[in-house]
């Protein structure tokens, strides 16, 4: 699919969300930014999902991507609890920077390759930095963002079909997983061999 087709799909998505969920003006503006031409090739499914998950929360995601808060496997709940715990824990960041490219370089020197900048450029807010963690015992990286007074965290890890079972396969059009843990909204999926999660909300606790 070429870039023009991607933009058409994204514009249709923006229109669908606006009609269904009556988004606030600033939320709709953030989604419209998804139709900007990217400087480098990127996965539309990853960019679209990350931006919507971070910017809209579970209600907006459910409206567009058909995500379900229904029952899933216990493994999904365990992953959500682990993601929420890392999100709430005010642990020091391993990499403190507001520049995504610098964060990628820093993680690369430690043997971990973050998504290309083009993949997450549409996530709203200001990057604070990142640190190492794990999801279901698989090494992961988290990136901390701040949008106004709201903090949220984007996670990525190499997808393991056994340890990460239950996470939605976005490449096959499966509905994703939204869980609420201790006031934190956690959204989980995997695409092109990468497990992705976005956490937002809740009250942070000392490390």
Region of 149 on the Ramachandran plot (φ > 0 left; ψ -120 to 50 alpha; else beta): alpha
Q: How many residues does the chain have?
A: 207
155: Cβ contacts below 8 Å, ≥ 6 apart:
83, 86, 133, 135, 140, 141, 142, 143, 195, 196, 197, 198, 199
Read off the tokens for 71: 């029952």
The per-residue pLDDT for range 88-139, each reduced to its tens digit, is: 988 899 999 999 889 988 888 878 888 765 556 566 789 999 999 999 999 9
Closest CA to 174 of 76, 88, 97, 89: 76
Distance, CA of 130 to CA of 98 (rounded, Å): 10
The per-residue pLDDT for range 115-124, each reduced to its tens digit, is: 765 556 566 7
Q: Which residue has the higher pLDDT, 21 or 39?
A: 39
* pTM given for the model: 0.66
Specify the pLDDT at position 47. 57
First to last CA, the chain: 45
């Amino acid at each position: 699919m070429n870039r023009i087709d991607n933009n058409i799909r994204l514009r249709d998505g923006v229109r669908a969300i606006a009609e269904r969920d009556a988004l606030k003006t600033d939320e709709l503006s953030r989604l419209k930014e998804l139709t900007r031409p990217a400087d480098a090739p990127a996965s539309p499914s990853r960019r679209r999902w990350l931006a919507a998950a971070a910017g809209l929360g579970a209600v907006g995601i459910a409206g567009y991507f058909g995500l379900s808060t229904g029952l899933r496997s216990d493994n999904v709940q365990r992953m959500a609890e682990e993601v929420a715990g890392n999100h709430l824990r005010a642990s020091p960041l391993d990499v403190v920077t507001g520049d995504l490219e610098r964060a990628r370089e820093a993680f690369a020197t430690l043997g971990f390759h973050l998504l290309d900048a083009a993949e997450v450029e549409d996530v709203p807010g200001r990057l604070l930095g990142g640190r190492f963690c794990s999801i279901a015992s698989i090494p992961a990286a988290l990136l901390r963002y701040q949008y106004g007074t709201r903090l949220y965290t984007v996670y990525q890890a190499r997808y393991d079909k056994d340890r990460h079972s239950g996470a939605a396969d976005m490449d096959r059009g499966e509905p994703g997983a939204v869980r609420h843990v201790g006031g934190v909204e956690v959204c989980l999926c995997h695409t092109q061999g990468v497990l992705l999660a976005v956490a937002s909300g809740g009250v942070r606790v000392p490390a």
